[in-house]
Amino acid sequence: MTERSEASVETLKAITAAFNAHDLDAIMEFFAEDCSLDMPRGPEPWGQRLTGKDAVRAGLATRFAGLPDVHYGEDRHWVSGDLGVSEWLLTGTRADGEKVCVRGCDHWEFRGGEVIRKDSYWKIVEPAT
């Protein structure tokens, strides 16, 4: 892994590019061994928490399996110290053909230039009434 001195907007843009390339190897290069990922859905108020690089990788793989054409567009990023935020519009198609278009954001925490925590949020999209 290339040494990163601190969190930066450039790093968050590079992570987003790796997500859009569906390149799990490139994505995981940004993560520390003891990282965690809070998925937007799950059995707890924080969603489903995955801990450790192997579990995070497996969790991210489910995103690509569930939305094979997933894309994060209209992205904006902010950084303050070791914390960052990425805002995006996620689009994709589920295996059953249902289109997904939802705003969301990720809260990032870095240590020594590596991601130690990714906390993902999605807007809840409901059918128009």
Lookup: tokens for 128: 């128009």
Residues 54, 62 contacting (CB under 8 angstroms): no
Predicted confidence band of residue 2 (pLDDT cuts 50, 70, 90): very low
**What angle (nearest 5°) sits at the alpha carbon of residue 49, between those of residues 53 and 66?**
80
CATH topology of domain 9-122: Nuclear Transport Factor 2; Chain: A, (3.10.450)
What's the pTM value of the predicted model, to 2 decimals? 0.91
Structural domain spans, the chain: 9-122
pLDDT at 1: 43
pLDDT at 103: 98
pLDDT in tens, 11-24: 999 999 999 999 99
Q: Is the pLDDT of residue 39 over 60?
A: yes
